[in-house]
Amino acid sequence: MFSYRHGFHAGNHADVLKHVVLVQLLAHMAAKEKAFSFVDTHAGAGSYSLGSDFAQKRHEFENGIGRLWKADKLPAALGAYLAQVRALNRDGRLHFYPGSPQIALQMARPQDRLHLFELHSTESEVLQAYFASSDRRVSVRAADGFGGLRALLPPPPRRGLVLMDPSYEDKEDYAKVLDTLRDALRRFPTGIYAVWYPLVQRKESHRMAAELENLARGDWLHASLRVCTPPEDGLGLYGSGVFVFNPPWKLEAALHAALPALAQLLGQDGHASYSLKFSQT
């Protein structure tokens, strides 16, 4: 589980879906003057060079952010997401892809706080160095985000957004996500929690949305995107999903407009599809 390096996958279709949702959630949090805390349990390296050996080995970004980079007349949610990517590429050329920590930093205000966890030794060193010159808003911990989240809940301003997106290379991550969320929702039931998960040929992945839905005691939203049919050999990522506990009420409308465009832009074999479910209590 410590071999995963997100640089191979930065900016792919799964990142696009995850970060489209994240930008909407951060914008919601920043709409009120009161401070908020952002917690990223698996922060990665912070930002990624698309010219690196990692990114160039698989070119996954070409079928993700690369397809949106020069697209015209995008729905508002995709335009807002693309603006955050452009903020890191001010010369108009796609050199870098912002990870969740960088997007959160760009959208945070002076009163907000970022808590970033990364257990992978190399990735955590890169993350520490990346934010070494940042202001006191950012706290980076070389630690397990599953366990570290507990100490931060509830956050002092009682406004918080948690992103949980492990690699799931270790199948135990599925159970850890559920256990961690169960505890977090007891400690801070009004927080917003966004959980990303992969669509792969694994039973834990197929059950994930239903398991998350069973945990929900309030409003929830589930968005998923399939960019191709499941591979016949059973290997490979063919889509992903994001499940949000306590979503802002505008999120459904934003994704209702964005997901069809994503399916069209990111589809790889003519069988791309999406789903969007929203439940209010």
By annotation, the residues acting in catalysis are 165
Q: Name the nearest CA neighbour of 127 among 152, 107, 102, 160.
A: 102
Helix/strand/coil for 277 = strand
Q: Where are the beta strands (DSSP E) in the chain?
A: 37-40, 47-49, 96-98, 113-117, 138-141, 160-164, 192-199, 220-226, 239-245, 273-279
What does the DSSP assignment read for 56-73? HHH-GGGGTHHHHTT--S
- Concatenated DSSP letters of 183-234: HHHHH-TTSEEEEEEEE-S-HHHHHHHHHHHHH-SS-EEEEEEE-SPPPTTS
Residues 6+ apart with CB under 8 A from 134: 105
CA atoms within 13 Å, Cβ hemisphere of 81: 29
Cα 129 to Cα 40: distance, rounded to the nearest angstrom: 17
